[in-house]
Amino acid sequence: MAIQTIGVIGAGQMGNGIAHVLALAEYNVLLTDISQEALDSALEIIRNNMERQVSRDKISQADMDAGLNRITSTLTLTDLGKTDLVIEAATERETVKQAIFDELLPHLQPHTILTSNTSSISITRLASRTDRPEKFMGFHFMNPVPVMQLVELIRGIATDTETFDACMEVVEKIKKTSATAEDFPGFIVNRILMPMINEAVYTLYEGVGNVKSIDQSMRLGANHPMGPLELADFIGLDTCLAIMNVLHEGLADTKYRPCPLLTKYVEAGWLGRKTGRGFYDYRGETPVPTR
């Protein structure tokens, strides 16, 4: 089946990035969110990011104009029923994702493939609650989507080969590289990355080092492009905590226990860059460590 029209659920950081790369790859994209403000903001971000690509000669002005023309938006979730592929990129809460699928399912075409951009939730469990577990899989983009080259493809226990091949073809068309992951908590990237971030928070919590020394040590001592606490702020501390909880509950191993300090920051609403404060305070001209 040739995929031509793709629906993207969620116009946040991940959703607008996914819409961006799909449109440049000549897919018609229908983007939805519960807020017109979120949709307007997403389209503005996509335009700004494409303008940056034009200024750096990554794409042409014609590519940008054509890409923007391929993106339409709607506040009505069920409008996505007419698409060939749906990529859900809503918040990382299973109850929210399930409610979205429940509303959308009766309106889907028989051939429509349903996917989730979840970074850690069981694909098999999400698929089992739909009418098409064989046409359901994980389609996990990395953040920021226009820059990062990897996409994790995760098959549920019932995902058929035709569905997997169709999603692989999309990854190839958007000129990214796919990694096939088995359906275990966290998949590959977050199974490795999140415990490292959580351990960095424990290192801060136990007073082994402060924010600056921890991030500096990993940037200069391990050649990481960003320190783990800086990266956590970029991802969102609420997202990091949610993934650690999935790992802890799904694998029942104490090594995945979220650091109490991470929980405290989330409870305070200090979620990182998106709220202006996390392990760094972003409200001034330059980020300042909060510990």
Summarised one tens digit per residue, pLDDT across range 37-48 is 999 999 999 999
Question: What residues are annotated to the active site?
Answer: 119, 140, 152, 190
Domains, the chain, in order of start with CATH, read: 5-182 (3.40.50.720), 190-289 (1.10.1040.10)
In 3D, which of 22, 16, 68 has the Cα closest to residue 173? Answer: 22
- Assign 280 a pLDDT band (cuts: 50, 70, 90): very high
Position 120 pLDDT exceeds 90: no
Q: Is residue 130 within 8 Å of 158, Cβ to Cβ?
A: no
On average, the pLDDT of the chain sits at 96
- Assign 142 a pLDDT band (cuts: 50, 70, 90): very high
- Assign 91 a pLDDT band (cuts: 50, 70, 90): confident
Position 118 pLDDT exceeds 90: yes
Does the annotation place 165 within a ligand binding site?
Answer: no
Q: Ramachandran region of residue 114, left (φ > 0), alpha (ψ -120 to 50) or beta?
A: beta
Placement of tokens 């990897």 in the chain: 150
State the Cα–Cα distance between residues 5 and 112, nearest whole angstrom.
10
**Residue 111: per-residue pLDDT:** 96
Does the annotation place 14 within a ligand binding site?
Answer: yes
**Residue 160: per-residue pLDDT:** 97
Q: What is the pLDDT averaged over residues 265-274?
A: 97
* Token output for 139: 């389609």
**pTM flag (> 0.75):** yes
Q: What is the pLDDT averaged over residues 63-84?
A: 98
* Token output for 217: 């040590």
Q: What is the pLDDT averaged over residues 227-242?
A: 96
Does the annotation place 58 within a ligand binding site?
Answer: no
**Residue 43: per-residue pLDDT:** 97
- Assign 92 a pLDDT band (cuts: 50, 70, 90): confident
Q: Ramachandran region of residue 218, left (φ > 0), alpha (ψ -120 to 50) or beta?
A: alpha
Q: Is residue 232 within 8 Å of 240, Cβ to Cβ?
A: yes
Position 67 pLDDT exceeds 80: yes
Kindly report, residue by residue over 167-207, the tens digit of the pLDDT: 999 999 999 999 999 999 999 999 999 999 999 999 999 99
**Residue 275: per-residue pLDDT:** 96
**Residue 2: per-residue pLDDT:** 87
Q: What is the DSSP letter of 146?
A: T
Burial bucket for residue 69 (CB in 10 Å: 0-12, 13-18, 19+): exposed
Does the annotation place 162 within a ligand binding site?
Answer: no
Burial bucket for residue 289 (CB in 10 Å: 0-12, 13-18, 19+): middle
- Helical (H) or strand (E) element with 288: strand 288-289
**Residue 254: per-residue pLDDT:** 96
Q: Is residue 117 within 8 Å of 139, Cβ to Cβ?
A: yes
State the Cα–Cα distance between residues 217 and 259, nearest whole angstrom.
20
- Assign 23 a pLDDT band (cuts: 50, 70, 90): very high
Where are the alpha helices (H) located in the chain, listed in sequence order? 13-24, 36-55, 61-69, 94-104, 123-128, 161-173, 189-205, 211-221, 228-235, 237-251, 260-267
* Token output for 17: 């990035």
Does the annotation place 81 within a ligand binding site?
Answer: no
Q: What is the pLDDT averaged over residues 229-249?
A: 95
